[in-house]
Amino acid sequence: MDSLFLPGVARILDVRDETPDTKTFRVVLRDRAAHDGFEFQPGQFVELSVFGCGEAPFCIASSPTRPEYLELTVRRAGQLTDALHRLGAGDEIGLRGPCGNGFDVAAAAGKDLVFVGGGIGLPPLRGLIWNVLDQRERFDRVTVLYGARTPNDLVYKDELKRWAERSDVEVLVTVDRGEPGWDGIVGMVPVLFDRTELHPRTSLAFVCGPPVMITFVIQDLLMRGFADHAIISTLERMMQCGVGKCNHCAIGHRYVCRDGPVFSYSQIKELVE
């Protein structure tokens, strides 16, 4: 894309229902050259516009190792997401980006990777997980720990099953409240730590989810011996420009849209102290 200020037109190829209020949109930029030149890191986001309605940030939920399309997983929250949910295959939207910093995949090479996601916090991790699985030999153990409020709120159910069937990935899923038919684990995400073997000294933990879940998970990881710099998370702030110009997302001397949204816990501590 030529400019971070100018949206490109993208066509929706496919829409998948994840939960009653969340859908995954597979899109491609209409200009083939712009699509082929769209390079991004897992963890980066785009500013998505629904024409005549407005613009909002969404993380790229697909992996750069699968460059044929971009995927965005969107929960219906208000006016813009409501309008987006009414669109289908063949409809067009605007995309501006990629914005933000993304996860440092190179720094994760050779390490044990622990992905901890809560609810709609799995999409930013999903791009990174596929990125890791598509070059599996570069990393040591891979563990995915995921929780949602109810079985109905779990996103990527088919992929979670497919990952769990692999011998080189450990997947544990929990729900806060079970339902008839759910015979899996019940409890908040941190209950999963006792069901897996963690190696804090050789691991990086990637944590995304609602703020309260992130707080509890980080406390638990620290208690289990993870160093501040080995815990990596994303911050969400209300945003407008997405490129460090409007001051909407500032925390201290940082702009979450430009310097983040990915931060290590050492950086987060520095920002909030």
Figure out which of the listed residues 7, 8, 190, 261 binds ligand FAD, where binding follows CB under 6 A: 261
Shortest Å distance, C-beta 4 to ligand FES: 11
Nearest-Å Rg of the Cα atoms of the chain is: 18
Q: x/- site string to ligand FES, residues 195 to 224, per CB under 6 A?
A: ------------------------------
User: Between residue 226 and residue 265, which ones bind ligand FES under the rule CB under 6 A?
Assistant: 239-242, 244-249, 255, 257
Picked from ligand FAD, ligand FES, none, the partner binding residue 58 (CB below 5 to 8 A depending on kind) is ligand FAD
Q: x/- site string to ligand FES, residues 150 to 189, per CB under 6 A?
A: ----------------------------------------
Figure out which of the listed residues 10, 12, 29, 59 binds ligand FAD, where binding follows CB under 6 A: 59
Decide whether 229 or 245 has the Cβ nearer to ligand FES: 245
The answer to whether 15 touches 37, Cβ cutoff 8 Å, is: no
CA 157 to chain centre: 15
Decide whether 196 or 240 has the Cβ nearer to ligand FES: 240
Picked from ligand FES, ligand FAD, none, the partner binding residue 252 (CB below 5 to 8 A depending on kind) is none
Task: Tokens 């816990």: give the residue.
Answer: 265
Picked from ligand FAD, ligand FES, none, the partner binding residue 77 (CB below 5 to 8 A depending on kind) is ligand FAD
Figure out which of the listed residues 239, 243, 262, 268 binds ligand FAD, where binding follows CB under 6 A: 239
- Residues in contact with 198: Cβ distance below 8 Å, sequence separation at least 6, in sequence order: 114, 143, 224, 225, 226
Shortest Å distance, C-beta 242 to ligand FES: 5
Find the distance separating the first CA and the last CA of the chain, reported in whole Å: 37
User: Between residue 81 and residue 120, which ones bind ligand FAD under the rule CB under 6 A?
Assistant: 81, 120
Decide whether 5 or 51 has the Cβ nearer to ligand FES: 5
Residues that bind ligand FES (CB under 6 A): 239-242, 244-249, 255, 257
Residues that bind ligand FAD (CB under 6 A): 45, 56-59, 73-75, 77-81, 120, 123, 236-239, 261
